[in-house]
Chain A
Amino acid sequence: MEITGWRRENGDFGIRNHIIVMSSVACANYAALEIARRTDAIPVVQENGACGMFGRDKKQFVRTLVGIGAHPNVAWTLVVGLGCEGVDSYEIADRISNRGRNAEALLIQEEGIQKVIERGVELINSAKESLKPRKDTTSIDELVIGLKCGASDFTSGLISNPAVGKVVDFLVEQGATVIFTERLEVVGAEHLIAKRAKDKNIAEDFLRRIRKAVEDVNKMGVDWIGSQPSMGNIRGGLTTIEEKSLGAIKKTGSVPLEGCVDYGERPPGRGLYFMDGPGYDVQAVTGLVSGGAHIVLFTTGLGTYLGSPVSPVIKITGNADTAKRLHDAIDVDLSFILKEMLRRDDVSLEEMLELGKEKIIEKIIKVANGELTKSEKSGHFEFSIERIGVTA
């Protein structure tokens, strides 16, 4: 299964060739958005960070911005800052450059906003001229695939997640890398993932991260079990957090767990990795992409239009109503599985899921070779970094 894309100077392989303009703080969003508007560069703007952050929280924020700027799908990055904020735009550009990729930074307080916008437009226009065509080749083993489910319903645990699980088994067998996240969506099923850990240390690391996530919620003094499953989940038929999590982890297939990484961090090897990240769709996808995901497989029951500034997000549903109502959001419609099951008594779920797997793999190959996903076509560039600390 050949994939044609871009071999980067540092050896990475990209399936998109984006120029991005990234604000390092919300105070610079106006400039970043204006530069993007005038150049068609993709904006990556902040909603909740960059100033008044401390310790691990700040490290995570910077790591994620660097991960996005140095992403294999990005050809060139412009970082725009205000100047006085706690996160240094020059440091972000330097760290992207240190990873063997291309970035420049501009500060509004050094030149005034009009000059920064003009200079930004010039820099991006010259970067555009150096863009190369899609011509380098690789195979599926070099892909990094992120996993996420959102707006789940009863079809997620029955159809889309198990079908993606089969895809994961196939991808990992081919030598690819897969990252799953959503630390609270494994509660009640964590023992099954831990059993799949390659060694005892990895199992303990994984279980420790899940325990900490539960403790963090308990510290807020809420009965979080009352919110998991949510009222919507309960109306949809999910009875307990265990049932929800067992359905959610179906998408990780049955391959061994190779290790855990922090939010936004790149896995050090191939195979299946857990990223210690949130369930909130936008922040989870941002973390997965910063971790190097070329493509995110997003299973959904009720549907969403979510995209990402640098990596295609493939939406998969097993719900026929959603596939119809949100036809401009769904990339892979697996609703034929339940229809066939309902129509016939002589067909097994297992064989239908195999057909679902084939459909998803076919879509991955097409999208990796340049076919636009629905969210790319409609221009969805949602972006948000998880905060884990207080703001000064």
Chain B
Amino acid sequence: MKAIVMDERDNVATAIVSLKKGEKVRTTAGEIVLLEDIPQGHKFALREIRAGEPVIKYGEIIGIATEDIKVGEYVHVHNVKSRYQGG
């Protein structure tokens, strides 16, 4: 397994090795085709996440999507905002 899903409620998975765009990745939440390169330790979407919806890891909210995120897309500071972050 090249990616870990920490909780069944999660909508993101963490890559445990660097993954390439187009790669098919098996996870406990099903097989995902990556739309972008994902560096080791970084996250990709397991489900579609709309702008304003919560991003969930460990079964908890880790932030809010700032734009629509497709399945297999890279999820990080460019499209997620902390609820503690102003602006």
- B29 lies within 8 A of chain A by Cβ: no
Residues of chain B lying within 8 A (CB to CB) of residue A192: 60
For the complex with contacts A239-B76, A240-B81, A242-B84, 20 further pairs of A-B residues with Cβ separation under 8 Å are A188-B62, A188-B82, A189-B60, A223-B86, A237-B39, A237-B43, A239-B43, A239-B55, A239-B75, A239-B80, A240-B63, A240-B80, A240-B82, A241-B82, A246-B57, A246-B58, A247-B58, A341-B1, A345-B26, A349-B6
Residues of chain A lying within 8 A (CB to CB) of residue B58: 157, 246-247, 250
* Complex: chain A residue closest to B75, CB-CB: A239
Taking CB atoms and an 8 Å cut-off, the chain A residues in 151-175 that contact chain B are 153-155, 157-158
23 A-B pairs with C-beta separation under 8 A: A154-B42, A155-B41, A158-B4, A187-B84, A188-B82, A188-B83, A225-B82, A237-B43, A237-B76, A239-B80, A239-B82, A240-B63, A240-B77, A240-B80, A241-B82, A242-B61, A242-B63, A246-B57, A341-B4, A341-B16, A342-B2, A347-B1, A349-B6
Complex Cα–Cα for A157 and B6 (A): 10
Residues of chain A lying within 8 A (CB to CB) of residue B16: 158, 338, 341-342
Shortest C-beta distance, A99 to chain B (Å), equals: 41
Give the tally of cross-chain contacts (CB within 8 A).
84
* Complex: chain A residue closest to B82, CB-CB: A240
Complex Cα–Cα for A162 and B60 (A): 15
Complex Cα–Cα for A188 and B60 (A): 10
Count B-side interface residues using an 8 Å CB cutoff: 31
- A243 lies within 8 A of chain B by Cβ: yes
- A135 lies within 8 A of chain B by Cβ: no
* Complex: chain B residue closest to A188, CB-CB: B84
Tell me if B's interface is mostly helix, strand, loop or mixed. Answer: loop
Residues of chain B lying within 8 A (CB to CB) of residue A157: 58
Known contacts A240-B82, A349-B4: A154-B41 contact under CB 8 Å:
yes
Complex Cα–Cα for A342 and B19 (A): 12
Taking CB atoms and an 8 Å cut-off, the chain B residues in 19-68 that contact chain A are 26, 28, 39-43, 55, 57-58, 60-63
- B11 lies within 8 A of chain A by Cβ: no
Residues of B within 8 A of A (CB): 1-2, 4, 6, 14, 16-17, 26, 28, 39-43, 55, 57-58, 60-63, 75-77, 80-86
Contact B84–A236 (Cβ < 8 Å): no
Interface centre among A154, A155, A157, A225 (most CB of B within 10 A): A154
Residues of A within 8 A of B (CB): 153-155, 157-158, 187-189, 192, 223, 225, 234, 236-237, 239-243, 246-247, 250, 338, 341-342, 344-345, 347-349
Residues of chain B lying within 8 A (CB to CB) of residue A234: 76-77
Q: What 9 A-B pairs come out closest when comparing CB atoms? A: A154-B41, A237-B41, A240-B82, A237-B42, A243-B62, A240-B63, A246-B58, A242-B62, A239-B80
Shortest C-beta distance, A370 to chain B (Å), equals: 36
Residues of chain A lying within 8 A (CB to CB) of residue B76: 234, 237, 239
Residues of chain B lying within 8 A (CB to CB) of residue A338: 16
Contact A242–B82 (Cβ < 8 Å): yes
* Complex: chain A residue closest to B83, CB-CB: A242
Residues of chain A lying within 8 A (CB to CB) of residue B83: 188, 240, 242
Residues of chain A lying within 8 A (CB to CB) of residue B17: 342
Contact B41–A243 (Cβ < 8 Å): no
Contact B6–A240 (Cβ < 8 Å): no
Residues of chain B lying within 8 A (CB to CB) of residue A236: 41
Complex Cα–Cα for A188 and B83 (A): 8
Complex Cα–Cα for A345 and B25 (A): 11
Contact B60–A242 (Cβ < 8 Å): yes
